[in-house]
Amino acid sequence: MLESHAGRFLLLALAVALLAGLAFLPGLPGDFVFDDFPNIVNDTKLHIERLDGEALYRIATSPQISGFMRILPTVTFALDHLRGGLDPATFKVTNIVLHGITALALAWLFRALLLVAGVRRERATWLAPALALAWALHPLQVSSVLYVVQRLQTMGTLFLVLALWAYLQARRAQIEGRSGRTGLLVTLLLWILALGCKEDSALLPAYTLALELTVLRFAAADARLATRLRRGYLIAVVGAAAVFLFWVVPHRWRWDAYPGRDFSTPERLMTQARVLCLYLWQILVPLPRHMPFYYDWLQPSRGLLQPWTTLPALVVVVALPALALWLRRRWPLFALGVLWFFAAHFITSNVVGLELAFEHRNHFALIGAVLAIGSLLAHAAVRLRIPLVAQTAACVAILAGLATATLLRAHDWRSNLTMAQAATASAPGSARAWILLCAEHYTGGGGPVAGNPNLEPAIEACSAGTRNMPHSLNANALLIVLKSLRGDVTPADWEQYRERLRTVPMTWDNRRATLIMTHNFRKGAPLDAAELLETLDLLVERAEFKPYELAGFGYFVMDDLDEPDRAMPYFVRALLLVSPGDPFHQQLATELRERGREDLAEEIEGLRRGLPSTR
């Protein structure tokens, strides 16, 4: 009988993995988007042409652009490049395969969890795959699976799921009177692999603590082991709280705005309550139009009632975990799911100055949400005495609805143009969505070339983005480029841009907006050099730049705008940011000599000796 259940479950789990992959195929071939470019497309160390130890060692030991603990996914990016170059479909197929494997592993985790919680083996055989499939088919997963760089997150989730399964096996052994050491060692090894994918995998102890508080309850056949478990987790919690309060918070807390952001730590924490409620809404009502991918339209909370939804959201965020802890004995699976959801957001919804919202942050959290929702539905079915046939029909209907939503959303991701069209429809207040739509029309027509056939739809998109987002510069900057190509840009257009530049918050996006102009000028766009130079002067007055960035502006002014005398103030600004002994001075002087500007090189050396600038 056990073999029959095991065989049936294995077939169902394999079917889950297959269906999990098939749902995302409409998103192929797709394009690279957003953070894919710095992390994959422009990271030349990943562009290997042959597989050898030296190349893999260089990739594994070089600093990753996205973070220093993300070695394993970075290596797989290089292997994808080896297979298919910079073909986005090659990378996305790997993501889809990994998603199917994770769904397979999750089915095994859910089965082990249900059995530990006392669910009958026969019921767990079909319920675990159903829960895993609900997780895999949720449309919120599209931006985790088809957004290539989020392999960092999805690989981390895969190893976390395997680690939790190993932990459950070890604890079941301890409850039955066996040592469980092998399972705990495997858990540790899998945790190390998860940490090699994404930093928030450090939350594994929080997930295992939630298991102990709800399903396992620190049980063990050996009473002394049970006591050690309780004491060990208590010490770990106290230690983690001390590190958080006395090291993380003092280093991360900011009463003023984070660099490149327009919100402080208190404002971020208030906003995260709204963001978590937004995630719950997207999970409970999984319509593609609720998931625009870009969330730059989300305004920070400036007070408990600014906007008014902040206070109710804070109440929900506090009440749900409290309710879970209160119900952890009566409804352990519901409580576990709620605790997993909130634990998964502990790092990204805390004091670190990250962007306010990203869908991929729910990749593991969605496991908890699916478990909690499934538990509630199961309790409702028992209380209402719903027949098994009706329960099965409802389950099939829910899964079919999730699959349909995912198929539709994945289809929107088949190209950046269709993705941008969907994003602007779902979030008309997103500056990033509008600039993507405008840029896709523009580059699709050949970029800064005479007679670009897509110039009119590009201008229409940039005009809409400029109107809809008065606090953003990107669409406005590209609009000037496009009008210059069309030949009808006016001084008023430039002045409108500079007026915005004088007043908008200098976020990361707004700092980089003027670079759209410099990039297109280098590509041949007929931008007015005098207007562009005045705009650059204003940009460096408003925003903070690193020395090498300021020097880059100087070279642009000297070489591309052919204004060497006007370039020197940029070099001076750069030098004022470095110490007198820094080799940057000499490097800059050497480069200027190589470009035939002996006069500028001598002035740079004079500045190093403390002589005043003549400009």
C-alpha dist (Å) from residue 88 to 95, 123, 292, 439, 557: 11, 41, 21, 18, 35
The C-alpha atoms of residue 391 and residue 367 are separated, in whole angstroms, by: 21
Q: Which residues pair with 303 in a beta bridge?
A: 306
Report pLDDT for 608: 65
The C-alpha atoms of residue 303 and residue 266 are separated, in whole angstroms, by: 9
- Report whether the peptide linkage leading into residue 73 is cis, meaning its omega lies within 30 degrees of zero: no
> What is the distance, to the nearest Å, from the Cα of residue 473 to the centroid of all Cα atoms in its chain?
23
Instruction: Give domain limits for the chain.
Output: 2-32+86-221+253-412, 428-544, 547-615
Report pLDDT for 364: 98
Question: Letter for the amino acid at 81?
Answer: H
Beta-carbon contacts of 213 under 8 Å, excluding residues fewer than 6 positions away, are 325, 328, 335, 339
Which of these CATH numbers, 1.25.40, 1.10.10, 1.10.260, 1.10.3470, describes 428-544? 1.25.40
Q: What percent of the chain has pLDDT over 70?
A: 97
Enter the tokens of residue 63: 């600093």
Question: Letter for the amino acid at 25?
Answer: L
Enter the tokens of residue 71: 């070695």
Average pLDDT of the residues of the chain:
92
Beta-carbon contacts of 298 under 8 Å, excluding residues fewer than 6 positions away, are 271, 274, 275, 278, 356, 357
Enter the tokens of residue 290: 């609720």
Q: Which residues pair with 306 in a beta bridge?
A: 303
The C-alpha atoms of residue 600 and residue 575 are separated, in whole angstroms, by: 13
pLDDT at 587 over 60: yes
Mean pLDDT of 83-111: 96
**pLDDT of 501-537, one tens digit each?**
999 998 888 988 989 999 999 999 999 999 999 999 9
The C-alpha atoms of residue 343 and residue 289 are separated, in whole angstroms, by: 27
**pLDDT of 1-53, one tens digit each?**
556 667 889 999 999 999 999 999 999 999 999 899 999 999 888 888 888 87
> What is the distance, to the nearest Å, from the Cα of residue 524 to the centroid of all Cα atoms in its chain?
34
What per-residue string of b and e applies to 595-613 under the rule 16 or more CB within 10 Å gives b? eebeebbebbeebbeeeee
pLDDT at 500 over 60: yes
C-alpha dist (Å) from residue 549 to 334, 446, 516: 51, 28, 15
User: Is residue 421 within 8 Å of 499, Cβ to Cβ?
Assistant: no
- Lowest-confidence segment of 280-294, 409-423, 572-586 by average pLDDT: 572-586
Number of H helices, E strands in the chain: 28, 0
Judged on CB neighbours under 10 Å (0-12, 13-18, 19+), 459 is buried
> Residue 448: phi, psi to the nearest 5?
-80, 65
For residue 57, what pLDDT band results from cuts at 50, 70 and 90? confident
For residue 611, what pLDDT band results from cuts at 50, 70 and 90? very low
- Phi/psi region, residue 126 (left: phi>0; alpha: psi -120 to 50; beta: rest), is alpha
Nearest residue to 447 via CA among 436, 455, 459: 455
Enter the tokens of residue 464: 């809409």
**pLDDT of 389-402, one tens digit each?**
999 999 999 999 99
Three-state helix/strand/coil letters over 10-71 = HHHHHHHHHHHHHCCHHHCCCCCCCCHHHHHHCCHHHCCCCCCHHHHHHHHHCCCCCCCCCH
The C-alpha atoms of residue 500 and residue 477 are separated, in whole angstroms, by: 11
**pLDDT of 402-441, one tens digit each?**
999 999 999 999 999 999 999 999 999 999 999 999 999 9
Nearest residue to 457 via CA among 498, 424, 429: 424
- Lowest-confidence segment of 70-74, 204-208, 372-376 by average pLDDT: 70-74
